Structure 1
């Protein structure tokens, strides 16, 4: 027999409804929403860095000189690369025994690997390389936990 007070019942109901927002939505939808949130936060981070005087010019390997990273460039980059993460989450939700754990381990490893890009960017200021690398972490810190939490609820 369980005895609960009205406050405990309210707290349980409140926690169910907040976690229910993630657990009742399709994985792809949570992925899209997490991506949009991650892209907005990452773009805001880049705008703060830009306002602080960090030059937003970077070069791809093999490029002769750095090119301007436009406002909105971080947002677009997060959206572009997150598509692969959403596909991975949907596939793991369908076929993996432990989708949340597999997703987290895989995406954290891929995020760490993605840091090589900014580290070797030629003709790019060190401060810009640091902001680029940090932006990968910012996006991952928003997107990965949201999708992993959704995957931990089991339904597709």
Structure 2
């Protein structure tokens, strides 16, 4: 078998399809984390304190949490791909409620001004707006 034919047959294999989710998913996680951080930087630039209980939230925390939660999304996508009959649909049905639930700590935390509270929620939305559709498109 020629090298080209071998590569072509491998590209359509189930293993290649599984791998095709991980690297793009991690790349989307990085971009989602950057988007969350960009929202925080923009909010701080227009005057949001981003203080929780009187302590400023470091900007790297937005990137770290955005990345970790996005990687959880990639793991969920892998589970949907493995066990769901319609993985893209299952992924969206799982992740959208999880994103909404992720707002609860930001909404329930005490001693936070309104601008900070809105910024915290928007960081979740920014990351999810990149990661969820990007991963969903890999599940078709």
Q: TM-score range by the shorter chain?
A: 0.7 to 0.9
**Normalising by structure 1, what TM-score?**
0.75
The number of residue pairs the alignment matches comes to 124
Residue of structure 2 in register with 1:146 after alignment: 134
Residue of structure 2 in register with 1:79 after alignment: 67
Alignment of 1:55-94 (within 5 A): 55-58=49-52, 65-94=53-82
Residue of structure 1 in register with 2:10 after alignment: none
Residue of structure 1 in register with 2:3 after alignment: none
Two-structure CA RMSD over aligned residues (Å): 1.5
Long gaps (5+) in structure 2: 1-16
Contact 1:42–1:75 (CA under 8 A) maintained in structure 2: yes
Contact 1:27–1:93 (CA under 8 A) maintained in structure 2: no
Q: Is 1:113 the equivalent of 2:88?
A: no
Long gaps (5+) in structure 1: 1-22, 59-64
Greater percentage in helix? 2
Contact 1:66–1:122 (CA under 8 A) maintained in structure 2: no
Higher-Rg structure is 1
Mapped to 2, the partners of 1:71 and 1:87 lie a distance apart of: 25
